[in-house]
Structure 1
Amino acid sequence: MHRSRLPAAERRRQIVEVTTRLIAERGFWGLSMQDVADGCGVTVPGLLHHVGSKDGLLLAVLDHRDEADMQWVLAQAPGGLRETCAAVVRRNAGQPEIVRLFAVLEAESLTPDHPAHDYFRARQERTVETFSVLCGDAVLARQVVALMDGLQLQWLRFPSLDLVAEWEAGADRLFGPLTSGRE
């Protein structure tokens, strides 16, 4: 098999993309380093050179997604909590494979021995804290996260569901209907 040499940054990007797709399809426990290596046209030792271990591979995928999402959210510069969440839901509606990846990994990581257990716990705490700052209410922030996560799971199960419309209907119940002049 012919293996092409790519610059390290490009190879790492390729590894993250292939791994993202495979985890979304199979979950972390169904991921094999050989499948990732084959998908990238490298050997397993070559793959390990870039990521260190299977756990390192998973964390590279998660860090990459969080960084990309944070840059996008900051670029959108929405106002309050409702507007921020609406922007996130619109973004997620356009990337079902990423939403599926995070849903699968978050569910798997509920077991304490999962390599992303601490990552997802800290991510959830950061999200609730950030939302609490935006709305001034930790209980509301947790309810918003639950609504977003629950709607995304339903949308993944039933793709004909309009995620954005469902979010807006739920947001109207949590925040009250939008008044003219806003969003």
Structure 2
Amino acid sequence: MARPRGVERRAEILRATIEVIAERGYRGTTLGAVAERVGLTQQGLLHYFPTKEALLLAVMDERDQWDTGGGSRGADGWRLELLTSMVDYNAMRPGIVQTFSALLGESVTEGHPAGEFFTRRYVQVRGNMAGVLRDEFGDRLPSGLTPEQTAPLLVAVMDGLQYQWLLAPESVDMPEAFRAFVTLLRGGAEGPER
């Protein structure tokens, strides 16, 4: 079944936005640059996304869909190894990480259009992370904490490492630091990941 033209055009705009972010970073991404990339006027782009924030939030939503395989867990569930791979992948796309981090930081201000998106996202992400931890450790981690108690900490480490890495990529090895945290989750046991 053919996709409606509007759906295809939105997908094209999102792909172009990701390209522009990768090339120019968050601040350098303008509606005009994206519109030019897809052969639209800026006014034409606003027909699909009424503001830059709406466009960037759609990119973040699309990014989450790609990262999580559509948000569903497979039969075997997610594993800590998948999270580690996601951190490795994020280290290769600083523009997207920068956009996520900038929008997240701005979203905590009252009335910001991204506030609701990130509030919903974090509820879902904490639930997903609790599921990852439960699949890996059962009802208790080696520390004695439950997956639900640990999930917000896991999310905080992932997001906090992104900020530190963006500020000083030469001194913060985000993937290595995340692997060290996984070692802590596993009770400090060294060796290959399970």
TM-score scaled to structure 2, two decimals? 0.72
User: 2:184 — aligned with what?
Assistant: 173
Any residues of structure 2 matched to 1:42-53 within 5 Å, and which?
Answer: 42-51=40-49, 53=50
* Structure 2 Cα separation of the partners of residues 73 and 91 of structure 1: 17
Report the Cα distance in structure 2 between the residues aligned to 1:126 and 1:146, rounded to whole angstroms. 14
Gaps of 5+ in 2: 134-145
Residue 58 of structure 1: which of 36, 56, 59 is its match? 56
Aligned-residue sequence identity (percent) comes to 34
Mark the CA change 1:170 to 1:182 in structure 2 (over 3 Å): closer, same or farther.
closer
Counterpart of 1:148 in structure 2 is 158
- Match in the other structure for 1:138: 148
Within 5 A, what are the aligned runs for 1:16-31?
Answer: 16-20=14-18, 21-22=20-21, 24-26=25-27
Q: Distance in 2 between matches of 1:92 and 1:77?
A: 25
2:173 maps to which residue?
162
Partner of 1:4: none
In the TM superposition, what whole-angstrom CA distance separates every residue of 1:109-149 from its partner, at most 9, and x where no partner exists? 11131111100011111111111123252121111111111
Q: Map Cα deviations across residues 32-84 of structure 1 (whole Å, 9 max, x no partner).
A: 53443244332123212333x11542332222212211228869987665333
Give the TM-score, by structure 1 length: 0.76
Q: Is 1:111 equivalent to 2:121 in the alignment?
A: no
Question: Counterparts of 1:36 and 1:133 in 2: how far apart (Å)?
Answer: 37
Q: After TM superposition, give the deviation of residue 19 of structure 1 in Å.
A: 3.4
Q: CA separation in 1, counterparts of 2:184 and 2:191? A: 17
Correspondence for 2:98: 100
- For structure 1, the residue ranges without an aligned partner over 5 or more in a row are 1-6
Indicate the RMSD between aligned Cα atoms, in angstroms: 3.1
On the 8 A contact 2:65/2:71 being kept in 1, the answer is no
Q: State which drifts further: 10-19 or 91-100.
A: 10-19
Q: Cα offset for 1:150?
A: 1.2
Deviation track 1:1-59 (CA, whole Å, cap 9, x = no partner) reads xxxxxx65564344224434459421xxx8653443244332123212333x1154233
Q: Which amino acid aligns with 1:33?
A: L
Quick one: distance in 2 between partners of 1:146 and 1:56? 25
Return closer, same or farther for 1:99/1:181 CA change in 2, 3 Å cut-off. Answer: closer
Whole-angstrom CA distance in 1 between matches of 2:163 and 2:48: 32
